Amino acid sequence: MISDSVHGFDQIFSQTQPLRTLKGFLQKDAIPHALLFTGIAGIGKRMTATAFAMAANCLETKPDITSYGKNPPPGDKGTFADSAVSPNPCERCSSCKKIRSGNHPDIIFIEPDGAMIKIHQIRDLLGTLALKPYEARVRFVIIAESHTMNPSAANALLKVLEEPPDRTIFILTATEASTLLPTILSRCRRVRFNPVSRPDIVRLLQITRGIDPEQGKTLAAMAEGSFGRVLSMSRSNWGRRRKWLIIAGGLENPHLLSGRSRSSLLAFSEELAKSKSTVGDSIAVMKTWFRDLVVWKYAPGKIINQDLADQVRCASANSTVEALLKKIEVLEQAQRDVATNMNLRLSLDLLMLRLGEP
């Protein structure tokens, strides 16, 4: 939570259209039985799903849920649309508090077990869904990183999406819709989430971490729209890691990367893989570095690593734009590979070998 005075949908930044869509579902009492939230990691998809479940079950707003299922619980009257009540959850009632704390029996979260969501997790879910909701106005099943479902898990989920239980809403989150089965996609209403804007990231860093705006601007530029990534970077000693990546990775002299031995390149990828939680951040830092080497040639004042301007100048002078753009493409491919849960060590090995190509 950002602060005690900000709650529900107000905690979610840079998602004007997704929030408008979701609030519209609440106000019209017409929530699709399955939603797919897509977008890069760390932009608030899960937070939004939680706020949405809270809004649909908030005891202070009490929306009419007749269109959410065939058997609404007795006593629920009135709608968002015909009252002055906001679709924003109150976060004060017992339902909101249980959902926020993760202790509501009818708000079910499923996450990857290791690298993927497995069939036993979906089978357990189906067993739970065979029972009626315990206390919720509408039950929510939130499946995070649904693109990691193995084929058997995806097929098992498909069956329940085809015949959803009463008063049950599914929310799947994924980086890309294309990573899911077409049959699952056809049964979900897609809601696209945006990268968080740099000004919003800077503001969030001030609010949540007390980070100076100037440092926040540098972090925001490296985060590429992911507030989750920038939080991870701010918690770690990202300045020290950046220095290690540039020196140990041979980025100070990009034109010499092609002269490094295969064993040296693979040794560096092995070191990168030792800290799985920082791999995404490390690739983003490396990409930002190469981006700065290109930008320096045309607008030195717009580089992100302003505190390393001398190093950027020297490295840029010894590199061609064509070679630098090629390395940026290699890093972008590595980001895609990591995001889709390709074998991490293999992804990093390929990254370094390709960066070492002439």
What CATH number has the domain bearing residue 57?
3.40.50.300
How far is 168 from 188, CA to CA, in rounded Å? 13
Tens of pLDDT along 112-142?
998 899 999 999 999 999 999 999 999 999 9
**Domain containing 283: what range?**
236-355
Residues 183 and 240 in one domain: no
Residue 300 has φ and ψ, to the nearest 5°, of -55, -30
Domain count, the chain: 2
Residue 122 domain-assigned? yes
Residues 187 and 282 both lie in one domain: no
Are 162 and 249 in the same domain?
Answer: no
Give the Cβ contact number of residue 186 at 10 Å: 10
Task: Assess whether 179 and 105 both reside in one domain.
Answer: yes
Cα–Cα distance for residue pair 328/312, rounded to 1 Å = 15
Its pTM surpasses 0.85: no
Low-confidence residues of the chain: pLDDT under 50:
1, 3-5, 65-67, 69-85
Integer Cα distance of 171 and 357 in angstroms? 43
Residue 103 shares a structural domain with residue 173: yes
3 state SS of 191: strand
Q: Which residues of 130-167 are buried (b: 16+ CB within 10 A; e: fewer)?
A: eeebeebbbbbbbbbbbbbbbeebbebbbebbeebbeb
Residue 197's pLDDT is: 94
Based on the fold, state whether residues 29 and 165 are members of the same structural domain. yes
Per-residue pLDDT at 62: 60
Q: Do residues 34 and 152 share a domain?
A: yes
Q: What is the Cα–Cα distance from 87 to 9, expressed in whole angstroms?
A: 9
Using CA atoms, how far residue 113 sits from 118, 122, 143, 179, 262, in Å, is 7, 11, 12, 18, 34
Residue 109 lies in a domain: yes
Of 192, 212, 228, which residue constitutes the final position of a domain?
192
Do 135 and 251 fall into the same domain?
no
Residues pairing with 17 in the sheet = none
| In a domain? residue 325 | yes
Which residues, including other chains, have CB under 8 Å from residue 53's CB and lie 6 or more apart? 99, 107, 140, 142, 169, 171
The answer to whether residue 285 sits within a structural domain is yes
Number of H helices, E strands in the chain: 15, 5
Residue type, 80: F
Instruction: Mark 40-57 as b/e (b = at least 16 C-beta within 10 Å).
Output: bbbbbbbbbbbbbbbbbb
Q: Could you tell me if 155 and 37 lie in one domain?
A: yes
Domain boundary among 192, 209, 228: 192
The answer to whether residue 335 sits within a structural domain is yes
Task: Indicate if 166 and 241 belong to the same structural domain.
Answer: no
The pair of three-digit structure tokens given for residue 232, joined into one six-digit string: 């991870």
Q: Which of 160, 192, 224 is the last residue of a domain?
A: 192
Q: Which two tokens stand for residue 123?
A: 């089978």
Co-location of 97 and 171 in the same domain: yes
In a domain, 38, yes or no: yes
pLDDT, position 71: 42
- Mark whether 63 and 185 lie in a shared domain: yes
Q: Is residue 347 part of a domain?
A: yes
For residue 334, what is the domain's CATH number?
1.20.272
- Asked if the structure places residue 214 within a domain, the reply is no
Q: Which residues pair with 37 in a beta bridge?
A: 173, 191
Would strands 107-110 and 189-192 be described as parallel, antiparallel, or unpaired? unpaired
Q: What is the pLDDT of residue 79?
A: 41
List pLDDT tens digits, range 166-187.
999 999 999 989 889 999 999 9
- Three-state DSSP class for 176? coil
**What pLDDT is stored for residue 63 in this prediction?**
53
